[in-house]
Amino acid sequence: MTADDRALLEAAVAAQQRAHCPFSRYPVGAAVRTVQGAVFSGCNVESASFSLTCCAERVAVFKAVSEGHKAIAACAIVTSDGKPAAPCGACRQVLYEFGPEMRIVLGNPSGEIRIMNLADLLPEGFSQEHLLSHSGDADCCD
Whether 126 shows a pLDDT value over 60: the answer reads yes
Task: State how far the Cα of 55 lies from the Cα of 45, in Å rounded to an integer.
Answer: 7
C-alpha dist (Å) from residue 49 to 25, 80, 99, 117: 16, 23, 30, 33
- pTM for the whole structure: 0.90
Share of the chain above pLDDT 90, in %: 82
Of 46, 57, 101, 124, which residue is the catalytic one?
Answer: 57
Answer yes or no: 101 catalytic: no
For the chain, the average pLDDT equals 92
pLDDT given for residue 142 in this prediction: 44
Task: State how far the Cα of 25 lies from the Cα of 28, in Å rounded to an integer.
Answer: 10
Q: Please give the helix or strand (H or E) that residue 4 lies within, else none.
A: helix 3-16
Q: Which fold has domain 3-141?
A: Cytidine Deaminase; domain 2 (3.40.140)
